Structure 1
Amino acid sequence: MEKLRDAQPEMVKIRRHLHAHPEVSFHEKETAKYIKDFYQDLDCKITDFGDGYGFAVDIESGRPGKNLALRADFDALAIQEENDLEFKSQNKGVMHACGHDGHTAYMMVLAKTLIELKDQLKGGIRIIHQPAEEVSPGGAKSMLAAGVLKGIDNVLGVHVMSSMPNRSIGYHLNETQTGRSNFTITFNGKGGHASMPQLSNDAIVAGAYFVTALQTVVSRRIDPFETASVTIGSFDGAGSYNAIKQSVTLKGDVRVMKEDTRQTVREQIEKIAHGVEAMFGVKVDIDYDDNYPVLYNDPQLTKETIKSIQDANLPEIKQVFDCGPQDPSEDFAYFAQDTPSCFFYVGCQTSDGQNHPHHSPDFLMNEDCLLVAGEAVGTAALSYLGV
């Protein structure tokens, strides 16, 4: 803990460098190089995993024990930053608007600290630096396929949360974050002149009916005690005021808290789309992507992880609480689906009391969260390894 506290300025420096040089999912070439360069002179092993820029850093104690993986993601988002910061994004239209720069900064310094102390450890620690969390199919999936969790007993991960108080730790047992699906649906009709609608087949009418009918999926097909949402985020029907639209494309988002709910929602969306096809005489094309699973926190591992943090009585952590299930989806869920895992949250609410939500152009984090994350994950890792 003393080493981490002394290295807090280094965490901030790394985070600000990453924030100023963001790269979007599957294009994080320079970010990955920057992180790898950090480890070049340290006593560890670096191995590439997956079909992107992901890699792992192995810290071997040389003593028998369990093997624990610690994961941090490092991609940014296609968002133009609106903050006025000295370290504002230098890449137009790209921004670290979710805190992955913070995840990587604390993890790099924590990893260096663990490497320096590795002769006092038991077992092994694998640091997973993962790209492409934000965009399906995500970076975790190909890293898993390449064997990044081979020989690993458990995985820990964290996410900073601007909605949670600074210097707090949030957690939840069992189903913790929603699973996600995305779909694109195109209705193809017959265009024509607005003065002669009988000679055309209006795709906008079909699409509008579909959006309205879609509201019955959650309200009439899902148990009220289950969690599900269906959102149409894009309706591409732009055209002329006096022309009947021949084709419209809709894009939608689905979130669920149980995997069997996912299948029910998909079946209903497809039934409604084909019903509209028959009713309006249009042709429908459906591209449906079932991607991130429900994130499941192993109850026993999560209890042990949180207890270790509470028992440490770290002065930097003021509150540890059950934050309940969280609405966003997270591709750490693939790791948790494969190996018993714990994913918890570090509050990073800014001191000005303003709302700076994730994925917004004015997202901000309180940089106190970097040390809190390092201490919390470091404490949990040492406790897990029996140090």
Structure 2
Amino acid sequence: MKILIKNGLIVNSDAKFKGDVFISGDKIVAVGENLEAKFDAKDAKIIDAKDKIVMPGFIDMHVHFRDPGFEYKDDIVSGSKTAVAGGVTTAMPMANTNPVNDNAAITRDMIAKAKSCGLIDLFPIGAITKGLKGGGITEMGDMIEAGAVAFSDDGLPVCSSDVMRAALEYTKQFGSFVISHCEDCSCCRSGVMHEGKVSALLGLKGMPREKEEIMVGRDMLLAKLTGGHIHIAHVSSEYSLKMIKRAKEDGINVTCEVTPHHFSFTDENLMDYNTNFKMSPPLRENSDKLAIRKALASGLIDVIATDHAPHHIDDKFVEFDKAAFGILGLQTLVPLALKLVEDNVISLERMSLLTSKNPAKILNLSDKGQISKDFLADIVIIDPNLEYVYDENLNQSKSTNSPLFGKKLKGAAVVTIKSGRVVWEFPNIVG
């Protein structure tokens, strides 16, 4: 199949320019001006991207597709549909499934389901410990051979420093890395939100920043000891960022990610006890949000990842203390990231860097993350001015646990192309 994207603002991590993209098969054949005159496009699907942004397909390093075991929340098929509706063409689902993705058979099964669906590239993250129980590490070599790209017990911390050390040592041998869910559970005190003025006003138990910062410090020291690569997931604390900055300056092999909800919202959004704002790590204070936005602008943060975490309505429509942690994120990635651009926090080029180029670099995906000749034709076309209501007519997930559900948003992925095939078109807008 041939596709010609015309008249778009093409945005890579290092440049933006108006032009065309010509695709044949699963690869980008040419990028430039007036390509319709230079190539035989009579059999091509023509997409006019005037007044739209053309970016490399997003690579989301942190999602939960709940498959196997919790398919009533989401599964690999619905997760894939949700991903492409948000411009994500490559996703890395976490291992906290049921059964846990702690062996090669489950890893292979997840990949096979995604290939059968045919919408995204799915690279599973294997569990660090068997059953996420914090004890012995998994057979990492077997899982990497089956297709796992990294290891994490996300949702739970690895409490044992010795186990985390072993994980860093083993992943280093295999050219892989560890994604750390940084949480010192002994500091949690059964908290359900950030510990501060708002938690006191609401009468809810709080979790201090230090419960994250203690483990960030420990895991970076273990990376220093082993030379392994540690990737800090969903950073939420200003002081965590200060420690990451120091670690990078000292040459420790550390990368990190932040989520759209942590650079968009604060604990003050919980004043009406909306459980859709309940997440782990929790929304923190405005000073933390501002620190994250500053770190995005400076280049300290490597990746924006959604931590897409679907939950059934029964998991959220309960008392705040009993509600599950987690928020949908895939279909709200574009409007929240574009708000950073609108607020002059980051440029479009840096948005592309954080959502595509850097994840591709971390994952050693040499044919992704850029719109250039011979790269894989994974592309998202964004209408930055499109206003719409994010509702059941657009939502592709089985779940609705987003505080933005039913709200008017601005900016959306209107076309998503995966390996040269159109896999998403915004309803009633394109096509």
TM-score with structure 2 setting the length: 0.24
TM-score with structure 1 setting the length: 0.26
Whose Rg is larger? 1
Q: Which has the higher contact order (CA 8 A, sep 6+)?
A: 1
